[in-house]
Amino acid sequence: MATQVSLNDGAVASAGALAIQTNGTTQAVSISTGQVATLAQNPILTSGTANGVAYLNGSKAVTSGSALVFDGTNFSTTGTIKGSTTIGVGNATPSTSGAGITFPSTQSASSNVNTLDDYEEGTFTPTCTLSTPGTSATTSAVGVYTKIGNLVTVTGRLTFTKGTGSGDLSFGGLPFTSTSTTTYQNSGALSLDSFGVAGKVYFFFLVNSSTAPIMVSSTQAGGTVALAGATDFGAAGAGIRYMFSYQTD
Amino acid sequence: MAITKETAVDQITVTENGTVLYREATRIIEDGNELSKTFHRTSLVPGQDLTGVPVSVVAHCNLAWTAEVIAAYQAQVAAQAESIGA
């Protein structure tokens, strides 16, 4: 069995170490087919930079066992991946708190329907307006949202006073526009406080075509559907609490 | 050890019908390291009052909200009201 160790081109080893270095070639160490290189406990691979970089570039797919493979483009493993903190995707800087996946601050949309490509939490300020606003006003308006992929869920409350306003009521200030696909109209539940007319049921109706506001609609017990408006409010302010989900494009 | 709070508009989006959406990011920073970040989003429809809106967003609104865009948006809203059964 032939055993070969080559030290070339003036490699200089420090005390207790072996240096293998070549000039003009990218292959400093060669391991023959079928042979095994064993690293001792806690080995460190470093390219000499401060943080250390190891380059792998194989093309053979793993068919059994557990292994980490880099084929020049993708990392893959036949086992599971365990992370103790956070992982950033799309060049996002991983969060320094908690444990989870950090998405880019601006969505990098995927056309693949099996790909989760966005997550964001935040606040927004909802508004209610009448088609003829007059002195109507929205106060104490708060809202929070969570966007997961193309689904936005909002919840919050506000107080609306119609004043001298009249006409139809709309709800605005949503954090994202709704889908422009006219087929998908969304509705949501509405909780009322001193708002409403006996015999009617109120609910949100999210109108299509990407307009940010949604209309508030009402249906009478008999089934007649009509827009909610100033006539549904008394002179005193009305508290409205809401929670619903809708799709974006 | 200096802790600072910074709020800035980090996203402005103008949709096809003239709706302007923007996001304000509030960051808590300690010695250059971001400790936390929160978002607040706002949407504005064509012709809406811009009192209190950040200057950079107002500039986008003024560019996007031509008389034609405002009229088209109002027509769109009216058509939607009819579709509900007003």
Over 70: is that where the pLDDT of B66 sits? yes
Distance from CA of A52 to the nearest CA of B (A): 23
Record: contact B84-A215, CB cut-off 8 A: yes
B23 to chain A: closest CA residue? A175
Over 50: is that where the pLDDT of A51 sits? no
pLDDT at A64: 56
Q: Which of A135-139, A198-202, B75-79 has the lowest mean pLDDT?
A: A198-202
Please write the tens of the pLDDT for every residue from A23-36. 555 555 666 677 77
Pairing of strands A214-220, A200-206: antiparallel
B18 to chain A: closest CA residue? A211
Residues A210-221: what's their mean pLDDT? Answer: 59
Record: contact B45-A211, CB cut-off 8 A: yes
Distance of CA A238 to the CA centre of its chain: 34
In chain B, residues with a C-beta closer than 8 Å to the C-beta of A176 are 21, 41, 43
Find residue A68's DSSP bridge partners.
A77
Question: A123 vs A68, A184, A211, CA distance in Å?
Answer: 41, 25, 19
Q: Which is nearest to A89 in space by CA: A101, A77, A74?
A: A101
Pairing of strands B33-44, A119-124: parallel
Does residue B18 contact residue A212 with C-beta atoms inside 8 Å?
no
Contacting residues for B59 by C-beta, under 8 A, at least 6 apart:
none
Record: contact A105-B80, CB cut-off 8 A: no
Q: Which is nearest to A187 in space by CA: A172, A173, A202?
A: A202
Q: Report the residue from B11, B21, B81 with minimal CB separation from A227.
A: B81
For tokens 């993708």, what's the residue? A74
ipTM of this model?
0.79
Q: How confident is the prediction for chain A on average, in pLDDT?
A: 73
Does residue B40 contact residue B23 with C-beta atoms inside 8 Å?
yes
Structure tokens at A220: 């009478």
Interface of B with A in 53-82 (CB under 8 A): 73, 76-77, 80-81
B25 interfacial to chain A (CB closer than 8 Å): yes
Contacting residues for A81 by C-beta, under 8 A, at least 6 apart:
none
Pairing of strands A86-88, A100-102: parallel
DSSP B66-85: -HHHHHHHHHHHHHHHHHHT
Q: Which is nearest to B41 in space by CA: B11, B64, B61?
A: B11
Please write the tens of the pLDDT for every residue from A70-82. 666 677 776 777 7
Q: Give pTM, 2 decimals.
A: 0.75
